[in-house]
Amino acid sequence: MREILIIGGGYAGFYTAWGLEKTLRPDEARITVVDPRPYMTYQPFLPEVTAGSVEARHAAVSLRRHLRRTRLIAGRVTEIRNADRTVTVRPVNGADYALRYDIVVVTAGAVTRTIPIPGLAQQAIGLKHVEEAVAIRDRLMTAFDEAASLPPGAERQRLLTVTFVGGGFSGVEGFGELLSLATAMLRFYPELSIDDLSFHLVESRGRILPEVGDEPGAWVVRSLERRGAQVHLNTRLVSAEEGHVVLSSGEEFDSALIVWTAGNVSNPVVRNHTDLPVDERGLLVVRPDLRVGTDSEPVPDVWAAGDDAAVPDLASPVSGAHTVPNAQHAVRQGKCLARNIAASLRGGRVRDYRHSSLGVVATLGLGRGIFQYRSLVIKGLPAWLMHRGYHVLAVPTWERKVRVLSVWLIAAWCGRDLVSLASVQHPRDAFVGRFSAGAHHGHERGGRTRPE
Coil/strand/helix, residue 304 = strand
Higher pLDDT, 420 or 133: 133
Report pLDDT for 425.
72
Residue 54 has pLDDT above 80, yes or no: yes
pLDDT-based confidence at 452, cuts 50/70/90? very low
- Return d(Cα 66, Cα 18) in angstroms, integer: 8
DSSP E strands in 349-451: the ranges are 360-365, 368-373, 376-379
- Return d(Cα 243, Cα 124) in angstroms, integer: 9
Which sign, positive or negative, has the C-alpha torsion 154, 178, 122, 433? positive
- Return d(Cα 289, Cα 340) in angstroms, integer: 8
Mean predicted confidence (pLDDT) in 361-383: 95
Higher pLDDT, 81 or 396: 81
Residue 108 has φ and ψ, to the nearest 5°, of -70, -20
Report pLDDT for 419.
73
Mean predicted confidence (pLDDT) in 50-78: 94
Average pLDDT over all residues of the chain: 92
Higher pLDDT, 385 or 358: 385
- List, as one string, the DSSP characters of 125-165: E-SSSHHHHHHHHHHHHHHHHHHHTS-SSHHHHHHTEEEEE
Report pLDDT for 413.
85
Residue 263 has pLDDT above 90, yes or no: no
Residue 323 has pLDDT above 50, yes or no: yes
Identify the CA nearest to 104 among candidates 192, 8, 38. Answer: 8
Higher pLDDT, 419 or 308: 308
The per-residue pLDDT for range 76-107, each reduced to its tens digit, is: 999 999 999 999 999 989 999 999 999 999 99
- Is the distance from CB of 46 to CB of 60 less than 8 angstroms? no
- Is the distance from CB of 26 to CB of 1 less than 8 angstroms? no
Report pLDDT for 438.
63
Find the range with the poorest average confidence among 2-11, 77-86, 317-326, 344-353.
317-326
Q: Measured between alpha carbons, how far apart are the two ends of the chain, in Å?
A: 63
**For the chain, what percentages of helix, strand and coil (3-state, to nearest 5) are there?**
40, 25, 35
User: What percent of the chain clears pLDDT 70, i.e. is strictly above it?
Assistant: 96
- Return d(Cα 11, Cα 333) in angstroms, integer: 9
- Return d(Cα 78, Cα 7) in angstroms, integer: 10
Q: Please enumerate in sequence order all residues whose Cβ is within 8 A of that of 365, keeping only pairs 6 or more positions apart, or say none.
A: 51, 176, 177, 179, 180, 181, 227
Report pLDDT for 417.
76
